[in-house]
Amino acid sequence: MSIQFKNYTNEAGITEDYHRVRSFLVDIGYSDFTYARWDWMTTHGWLDPSAVGRIGIWEEAGRIVGLATFDTRPGNAYCIAAPGYEESKREMLEYAEEHLAGDEGFRVVIPDTDVRFQDIAAQRGYVATDCGENDAIFFLDRTSTEYRLPEGFRITDMRETYDLMEYRRVLWKGFNHELKGEGPLVYSPEEALSAEKEMRRPHVDLELKIAVVAPDGHFASYCGMWYDEKAGFAVIEPVATDPDYRRMGLGRAAVLEGIRRVGTRGARIALVGSSQQFYYSIGLRPFASASEWKRESSK
């Protein structure tokens, strides 16, 4: 059977193509673009819905064997191939160059262990940059998930406390939007709809969306967890703590509670796309890295 190319549907959101790509990412296991990243991107407010039709899919006998995609917006490309189809990355890169560039140019993200893909990129005039991505790993059978909360604080989840405004509020504050001078969160109808889409997308387990509640009732910290038994690993995303409650162990508690819960569902490892000291300090370890590659003539 020959490999056939097709474009992803022009329709953003939960579509047949969304499910097919997700199944592909679950089936291949760990890659530099995980099933959780795909889930997060698909209904994220930052997604450029006008660009989803530029995502490329490679199929053999009706089965996806390759994917060239961006993350929310064109600019950086990820070329993912099923085992045995790695040579298709040459064609994927050629396609991505033409169709997945953004307003600020084009780069391709290549795992630092993927020497063959590095060779393909180098042959096309690409060089590695000092920009990149890192994943850290938590081994549930080697590291404790114990934590303590300060008096007056408690753990909840989005099944028990389905409060989308508090969810958005803690992310807004936790990612420092107020400290950057953007003001308090404006919880508009559009913002509420976006939050609803994030929480009601397929495969979401609301018991794995963890929050630490402060004595005043506000969410002080939040950790989203993703777990698909078939993929074999959990993913931590996102994590945020209100600046008013930092350095109290609340982020640690939220993450470790999330990891503990995926452990009860069968997970033995959990990954996070970060190399922050915070994660290393609570027991995660460096796991994988990837670098952005660019053509020497490009920005």
Number of domains in the chain: 2
In a domain, 281, yes or no: no
Q: Does residue 272 fall inside a structural domain? A: no
pLDDT at 43: 87
The verdict on 184 and 221 lying in the same domain is yes
CATH label of the domain that carries residue 58: 3.40.630.30
Do 55 and 7 contact (CB within 8 A), yes or no?
yes
| Angstrom distance (rounded) from CA 298 to CA 144 | 46
Asked if 108 and 205 sit in the same domain, the reply is: no
Indicate whether 183 and 119 sit together in one domain: no
Q: What pLDDT score was predicted for residue 1? A: 63
Give the tens place of pLDDT for each residue, 199-221: 999 999 999 999 999 999 999 99
157 shares a domain with 121: no
- Domain hosting residue 205, numbered range: 142-267
The reply to whether 183 and 94 lie within a common domain is: no
Q: Tell me the β-bridge partners of 225.
A: 236
| pLDDT of res. 297 | 67
Tell whether 158 and 242 lie within a shared domain. yes
Angstrom distance (rounded) from CA 52 to CA 34: 17
The verdict on 189 and 261 lying in the same domain is: yes
Task: Enter the pTM of the model.
Answer: 0.95
Residue 273 forms part of a structural domain: no
Question: Which SS3 state, helix, strand or coil, does residue 114 take?
Answer: coil
Asked whether the beta carbons of 42 and 91 are under 8 A apart, the reply is no
pLDDT at position 287 is 98
CA distance linking residue 285 with residue 231, whole number of Å:
20
Q: What angle do CA 284, 287, 290 make, to 5 degrees?
A: 130
* Mean per-residue pLDDT pooled into runs of 10, the chain (299 residues): 93 97 98 97 93 98 97 98 97 98 96 98 98 98 98 98 98 96 95 93 96 98 98 97 98 98 98 98 98 81
